[in-house]
């Protein structure tokens, strides 16, 4: 995604007219530039303060030299550079597609065949890197861009020649934790060779196939330790492909596809060998380990799923449909009149022609179906609130509770006398699936009556559609999705109406700090819960250490039932003398832990964040669940005096008590209504973009909590964390969680 140029940005760099910002970091900015011949380029410009440092300028000069030495169709070529300029710059061919990291995060893991093709082409790129006498040293998903004709390896910023003395110190870890080789993680700089890149390639391919890094996520120290000492987590890669294939293919094809999955798994194990001598070379991957037909000879390269091809097409059309160059401080602002329809149509048709040649009908469909963010505001009397939720999948209970909370708020508003407008409710069921989420989002986006949307229900679907809502500038307000991945980049349309999962886990450490006699907490991270457990465990490990109560941490691998691993780990923690226990994971694992602790007679405080507030925990743990303390971002409105009227109205309307997030959804819609009423002028609502700005600046006291946001990115700025405890076989609401030590 590109961003607008700032007034302080230059107008040109090295003969490139700058059009937009592609990204910015601590050391420089990457711009989208256009040469006089009309060729687009990615232009990296180093900030002046770093350019004044001789060591840094030497490093940048080395990056330019390294990138120029690599010639491969799967590595982005250098098109120009000046490392000696006042502001050193490097230009490379512009690839409009998303990074592998972005594609997997938004659309899910790639099919086995796609990963095999990716492996062969990236291995071919590394073969040229190594043949040039270089080691890339930062092979990771963010450094691979996807195009319909294959991937592109980018960023040789820390690459160096194998026979060259490193500018960095030998005990400095260089690269990205989670995608480093063991020799990189151990800071053995002098020992880094081509085999290090092969290990990183294995990590990248495992991420592409599973959607998660093979050594988990968390603090850099934890990732480095696991890389050196733990085996990679490759669970489910082969099984997931087979399951998907079996739905769509007959028996005659299953054997071939099973073999493909097995070959990929074998390749991953070889690449991820701890000993560099046991890893294959890039040449061996290309010519021996992957079959010849992994990359088709001639014809169109059809290697990516359709939704990823659509994302590439959308990004391409965005870049090609730039009718004007944005003004900078070097020139006076141009007239704001839109480019003529003929000019815009010509650019889009040109983009479509390029994409059709490379990617076929799917790319054209993506261009044709784009939504116009400048769609007209709805006419008076046709205003609506949208709900995108899981109404038929595994989390339909939470999705239905939110939909009911929204519906009740809308009905109550419409029943008011003298209301300034009538409101309707539009729903879209995504089944809790990232694959269905885009369709549900587009249904609401294309309905011009919809002014804002509440949802989706879970992290996976929310992350899948954030970019889609961004393109339409339609406010998206989340009340249940809470992973930090939702704030991994700044979205223009996002309003997060709850604290993140990591923030929800913080009161656990604060609570333990307040307990007398608690000096050695045990902290168990269950990798079955993937990113959720990592976020919850990492924040508590950090907090407990800062509060003078360092935890005794243990990790158990992802498992279908966990029975083989939990018992010995719990016994070890008890032998270490822990006096309290924190579990980071899901309800089923928590039940196993609770039973084991109860059997051992452990009576210290037992705490866990909100994913364990699940009937499955009570059912599977039985009496062992009693006394467990849980933190959550939601309330039990039936036990909250401020929510008495809401609870009564909900029971009357639906004949049942409100479920989790029903009251939060109710509050969120009333927040939207507050801003709509204030912004209504002449019987017409504000535009979507105007409403979004109002929401991010708003403050609203609901029945569940006070809502406020960071105006820059829409993240939740309040507290809104609560305690629940298991008593008498049920979750009892205790009130606000402690926020101060």
Mean pLDDT lowest among 379-383, 386-390, 627-631, 647-651: 379-383
Report pLDDT for 256: 53
Answer whether 569's CB lies under 8 Å from 556's CB: yes
pLDDT of 254 > 60? The answer is: no
* CA–CA separation, 216 and 203 (whole Å): 11
Report pLDDT for 685: 86
Domain ranges in the chain?
A: 12-93, 100-294, 306-326+339-368, 383-499+646-709, 502-632+724-736
The predicted model gives 372-382 an average pLDDT of: 48
Alpha-carbon dihedral of residues 129, 115, 361, 72, nearest 10 degrees?
Answer: 10
pLDDT tens, residue by residue, 403-422: 999 999 999 999 999 888 99
Report pLDDT for 389: 97
Q: What percent of the chain has pLDDT over 90?
A: 54
- Helix, strand, coil shares of the chain, percent, nearest 5, are 45, 15, 40
- Give the right CATH number for 502-632+724-736 from 3.20.20.60, 3.60.15.10, 3.40.50.2300, 3.40.50.1100: 3.40.50.2300
CATH class label, 383-499+646-709 = alpha beta
Token code pair at residue 372: 């116009």
DSSP structure string for 529-558: GHHHHHHHHHHHHHHHHHTT---EEEEE--
Report pLDDT for 109: 94
Alpha-carbon dihedral of residues 96, 101, 103, 108, nearest 10 degrees?
Answer: 170
- The three-state secondary structure class of 463 is helix
* CA–CA separation, 222 and 584 (whole Å): 15
Mean pLDDT lowest among 42-51, 310-319, 366-375, 689-698: 366-375
Answer whether 675's CB lies under 8 Å from 666's CB: no
Report pLDDT for 2: 66
pLDDT of 341 > 50? The answer is: no
pLDDT of 157 > 80? The answer is: no
Q: Give the residue ranges of DSSP H helices in 160-250.
A: 182-185, 194-210, 220-229, 237-248
Q: Of residues 138, 429, 430, 636, which has the active-site annotation? A: 138
Helix (H) and strand (E) counts in the chain: 24, 24
CATH number of 100-294: 1.10.510.10
Report pLDDT for 9: 83
pLDDT of 275 > 70? The answer is: yes
CB atoms within 10 A of CB 163: 6
* Helix (H), strand (E) at residue 258: helix 251-271
Is 138 annotated as catalytic?
Answer: yes
* CA–CA separation, 200 and 279 (whole Å): 11
CATH class label, 12-93 = alpha beta
pLDDT tens, residue by residue, 108-156: 999 999 999 999 999 999 999 999 888 888 999 999 999 888 999 988 7
pLDDT tens, residue by residue, 448-466: 999 999 999 999 999 899 9
Using 50, 70 and 90 to split pLDDT, how confident is the model at 214? very high
Answer whether 613's CB lies under 8 Å from 731's CB: yes
Instruction: Give phi and psi for 588, each to the nearest 5.
Output: -65, -45
Q: Please state, rounded to an integer, the average pLDDT across all residues of the chain.
A: 83
Bridge partners, residue 500, by sequence: none
**DSSP 8-state code for residue 98:** P
> 664, 723, 657, 709: which is closest to 506 by C-alpha?
723
Burial 368-403 (b: 16+ CB within 10 A, else e): eeebebebebbeeeebbbbbbbbbebebbebbbbbb
Same fold, 383-499+646-709 and 502-632+724-736: yes
- The three-state secondary structure class of 297 is coil
pLDDT tens, residue by residue, 71-97: 889 998 889 999 888 888 889 999 988
DSSP structure string for 395-460: THHHHHHHHHHHHHHHHHHHTSTT-SS-EEEEEEE-TT-HHHHHHHHHHHHT-TTEEEEE--SSHH
State the Cα angle at 196 between 195 and 198, rounded to 5°: 65
* CA–CA separation, 78 and 12 (whole Å): 18
State the Cα angle at 244 between 242 and 245, rounded to 5°: 65
């Amino acid at each position: 995604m590109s961003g607008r140029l700032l007034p302080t940005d230059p107008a040109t760099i090295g003969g490139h007219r700058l059009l937009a910002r592609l990204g910015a970091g601590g050391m420089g900015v990457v711009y989208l530039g256009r040469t006089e011949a009309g060729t687009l380029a990615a232009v990296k410009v180093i900030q002046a303060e770093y350019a004044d440092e001789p060591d840094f300028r030497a490093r940048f000069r080395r990056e330019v030299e390294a990138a120029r030495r690599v010639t491969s169709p799967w590595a982005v070529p250098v098109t120009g550079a000046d490392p000696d300029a006042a502001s050193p710059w490097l230009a490379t061919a512009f690839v409009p597609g998303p990074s592998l990291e972005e594609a997997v995060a938004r659309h899910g893991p790639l099919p086995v065949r796609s990963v095999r093709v990716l492996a062969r082409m990236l291995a071919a790129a590394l073969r040229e890197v190594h043949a040039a006498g270089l080691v890339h040293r930062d092979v990771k998903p963010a450094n691979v861009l996807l195009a319909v004709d294959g991937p592109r390896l980018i960023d040789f910023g820390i690459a160096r020649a194998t026979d060259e003395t490193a500018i960095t110190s030998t005990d400095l870890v260089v690269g990205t934790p989670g995608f480093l080789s063991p020799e990189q993680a151990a800071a053995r700089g002098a020992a880094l060779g081509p085999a290090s890149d092969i290990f990183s390639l294995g990590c990248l391919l495992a991420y592409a196939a599973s959607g998660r890094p093979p050594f988990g996520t968390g603090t850099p120290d934890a990732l480095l330790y696991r890389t050196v000492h733990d085996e990679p987590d490759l669970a489910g890669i082969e099984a997931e492909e087979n399951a998907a294939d079996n739905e769509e293919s007959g028996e005659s094809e299953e054997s071939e596809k099973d073999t493909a999955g097995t070959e990929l798994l074998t390749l991953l194990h070889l690449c991820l060998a701890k000993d560099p001598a046991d890893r294959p070379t890039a040449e061996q991957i290309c010519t021996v380990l992957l079959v010849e037909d992994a990359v088709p000879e001639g014809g169109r390269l059809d290697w990516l799923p359709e939704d990823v091809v659509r994302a590439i097409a959308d990004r391409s059309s965005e870049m090609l449909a730039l009718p004007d160059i944005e003004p900078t401080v070097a020139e006076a602002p141009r007239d704001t009149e839109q480019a003529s329809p003929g000019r815009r149509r010509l650019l889009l048709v040109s983009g479509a022609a390029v994409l059709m040649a490379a990617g076929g009908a799917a790319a054209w469909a993506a261009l044709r179906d784009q939504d116009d963010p400048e769609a007209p505001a709805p006419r008076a009397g046709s205003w609506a609130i949208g709900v995108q939720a899981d109404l038929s999948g595994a989390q339909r209970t939470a999705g239905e509770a939110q939909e009911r909370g929204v519906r009740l708020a809308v009905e109550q508003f419409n029943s008011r006398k003298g209301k300034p407008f009538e409101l309707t409710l539009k729903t879209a069921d995504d089944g809790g699936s990232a694959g269905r989420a885009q369709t549900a989002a587009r249904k609401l986006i294309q309905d011009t009556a919809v002014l804002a949307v509440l949802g989706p229900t879970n992290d996976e679907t929310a992350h899948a559609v954030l970019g889609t809502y961004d393109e339409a500038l339609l406010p998206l307000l989340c009340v249940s999705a809470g992973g930090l991945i939702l704030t991994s980049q700044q979205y223009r349309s996002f309003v997060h109406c709850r604290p993140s999962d990591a923030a929800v886990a913080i009161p656990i450490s604060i609570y333990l700090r307040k307990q007398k006699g608690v000096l050695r907490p045990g902290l168990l991270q269950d990798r079955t819960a993937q990113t959720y457990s990592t976020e919850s465990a990492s924040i508590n490990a950090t907090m407990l250490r800062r509060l003078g109560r360092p935890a005794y941490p243990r990790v158990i691998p992802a498992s279908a039932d966990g029975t083989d691993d939990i018992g010995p780990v719990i016994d070890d923690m008890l032998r270490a003398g822990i006096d309290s226990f924190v579990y980071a994971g899901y309800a089923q694992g928590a039940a196993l832990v609770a039973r084991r602790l109860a059997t051992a007679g452990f009576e210290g405080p037992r705490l866990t964040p909100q994913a364990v507030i699940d009937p499955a925990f009570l059912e599977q743990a039985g009496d062992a669940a009693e006394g467990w303390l849980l933190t959550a971002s939601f309330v039990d409105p039936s036990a909250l005096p401020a929510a008495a009227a809401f609870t009564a109205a909900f029971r009357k309307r639906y004949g049942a008590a409100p479920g989790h997030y029903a009251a939060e959804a109710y509050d969120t819609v009333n927040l939207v209504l507050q801003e709509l009423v204030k912004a209504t002028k002449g019987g017409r609502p504000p535009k979507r973009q105007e409403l979004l700005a109002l929401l991010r600046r708003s403050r609203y006291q609901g029945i569940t909590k006070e809502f406020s946001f960071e105006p820059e990115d829409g993240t939740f700025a309040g507290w809104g964390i609560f305690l629940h405890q298991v008593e008498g076989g049920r979750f009892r609401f205790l009130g606000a969680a402690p926020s101060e030590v």
